[in-house]
Amino acid sequence: MKKITGQVLKLFIANSETRNMDEVMSSELILGGIVGDKYFGREDREILLTSLCGYELALANNISMPFGTLGENILTDIDLKNLKIGDKLQIGETIIEISMLCPVCTHLSSIKKELPKLIKDDRGIFGKVIQSGIVKIGDKVLFK
């Protein structure tokens, strides 16, 4: 039996025209990534999952930033640090396989100089779609 580990709190799609992260209520995930996302087809970097941990850590250090700032496609309430490459998560109708840890982007230093170093272990993880489907806000995140 699958253990419920958390839920989807927010969803974002990277907009290729505005370079912003657009918040959405649901996303269609297919092999290759998220339909409409500017990073669709980037092998091993199809989807960025981030937890509240990075935002909470930043806030505890007086750095306030809106959700989506870390570039995440899926924001969840679980601590992602314990996942390993090859682990699988069922999120909504989809199954995502963890493909790599997310390096901290230097552009985050434009928010505050110490931010990249501060959240280096809490930026998030990349996953690739191994079962297509729809993901919605509120969907359960289950460890497979």
pTM of the predicted protein model: 0.93
Domain that holds residue 42: 3-143
CATH of the domain at 64: 2.40.33.20
Q: Which of 124, 120, 35, 24 is nearest to 76 (CA)?
A: 124
What domain count does the chain have?
A: 1
State the pairing for strand pair 33-34/125-131. Answer: unpaired
Task: Kindly give the confidence (pLDDT) of every residue in the chain, 144 residues in length, as a single tens digit, with 9 standing for 90 and above.
Answer: 456 689 999 999 999 888 789 999 999 999 999 999 999 998 878 999 999 999 999 999 999 999 999 999 999 999 888 899 999 999 999 999 999 988 777 778 888 888 888 888 788 999 999 999 999 999 999 998
Beta strands in the chain (DSSP E): 3-14, 21-24, 26-30, 33-34, 47-51, 74-76, 88-91, 94-101, 125-131, 133-136, 140-143
Helix (H, G, I), strand (E, B) or coil at 53: helix
